[in-house]
Amino acid sequence: MKIVVTGGTGFIGSHVLPLLANEGNTIIALHRRESDPPKMNGVAWHKSSYETANWADIKQLLGGKPDVILNLAAYGVSPTQEWSEYFKWNVSYTLDFWLAAIENGVTRIISCGSCFEYGAASNQYDFIPTTAAPQPLGPYAASKAAATMLLSALSASYNIEALVLRPCIVFGEGEKASRLWPSLRKAALQGEDFQMTSGLQVRDFIPVEKVAEALVYGVRRTDLTKGRLVIENLGSGVPMSVRDFALEWWHKWDGKGELLFGHVAGRAGEASRIVPEIS
């Protein structure tokens, strides 16, 4: 298949691209970096972004019209308070890009959503169904939920296949150093103490490799229906407190320091439990 990937230089994208290439697809991965992205067999990089995409060049590189958009790019995975930037990138520019893709022959759009789209609705369920109405609690989650609704409308209006996969807490190699799992590993391997929140929040932690496999499977699925968005949750199916997650990995890494629970304040308005229903 001929696939255009956004966000290929990101955490999840770096795991997705090799899997796509191994299946023999023709892949154009867009990037915005000033420096050259890492070379990957079977992947052609094209310096572009939503607002600058040149579809004539993309189609020439692909050798024809694209079949699938795999949307892994997102603004604001690390929290900030720039609301307008979230919606500019995750909604407005995304809309422009998706419309242009449809005009240039794309018949399937797959987007990586987020379990944080559910927001406050998460507290109403032991396991959140995809039918739960999102009640996002911040600009990132709100913009991701808006993008999901946008894709639903585009699918119906243009009769295309559309899939949104909402992973819960993704962790693994290549994750930003400031996030929990890599920060925890660094402290454990260096024999340092590690300060964190109470850790009483309950989440579903899923390895990045599993998320990558689900996204790649979405490219070749045969059960998607034109004109209707499909939303699915991604997770391990095993609820776990942040505290237990930290303790499990601390022991795996044989951490010599102490885990100092309650030394970091929790995020204001954070849902106490985010555990998706896995079909």
Taking the domains of the chain in order of start, what are their residue ranges?
2-170+205-234, 180-202+238-274
pTM above 0.95, yes or no: no
Q: What is the pLDDT of residues 222-231, one digit of tens each?
A: 999 999 999 9
* DSSP code at position 275: -
From the list 102, 252, 262, 255, the residue with the least C-alpha distance to 171 is 252
How would residue 79 be classed by pLDDT, with cut points 50, 70 and 90? Answer: low
What percentage of the chain reaches a pLDDT higher than 70?
97
CA atoms within 13 A on the CB side of 158: 21
Q: What is the pLDDT of residues 20-56, one digit of tens each?
A: 999 988 999 998 876 678 888 889 898 887 888 888 9
Beta partners for residue 170, in sequence order: 206
**How far is 5 from 261, CA to CA, in rounded Å?**
39
**Residue 3: pLDDT above 70?**
yes
Q: Take residue 240 and report the two structure tokens written for it.
A: 């776990």
**How far is 211 from 206, CA to CA, in rounded Å?**
7
**Residue 77: pLDDT above 90?**
no
* DSSP code at position 210: H
Q: Which CATH class is domain 2-170+205-234?
A: alpha beta
From the list 112, 117, 147, the residue with the least C-alpha distance to 131 is 117
215's enclosing H/E stretch is helix 208-220
Domain 180-202+238-274, CATH number (from 3.30.1300.10, 3.90.25.10, 2.40.110.10, 3.30.9.100): 3.90.25.10
156's enclosing H/E stretch is helix 139-158
How would residue 12 be classed by pLDDT, with cut points 50, 70 and 90? Answer: very high
Supply the pLDDT for residue 236.
94
Q: What is the pLDDT of residues 204-215, one digit of tens each?
A: 999 999 999 999
Is the separation of the CB atoms in 161 and 98 below 8 Å?
no
**How far is 215 from 111, CA to CA, in rounded Å?**
9
Strands 202-203, 240-241: parallel, antiparallel or unpaired by DSSP? antiparallel
Supply the pLDDT for residue 148.
98
Exposed e or buried b per residue across 241-262, where buried means at least 16 C-beta atoms within 10 angstroms of its C-beta: ebbebbbebbeeeebeeebebe
> What average pLDDT does range 262-270 have in this prediction?
81
* DSSP code at position 91: I
Supply the pLDDT for residue 212.
98
Amino acid code (one letter) for 20? L
> What average pLDDT does range 71-95 have in this prediction?
87
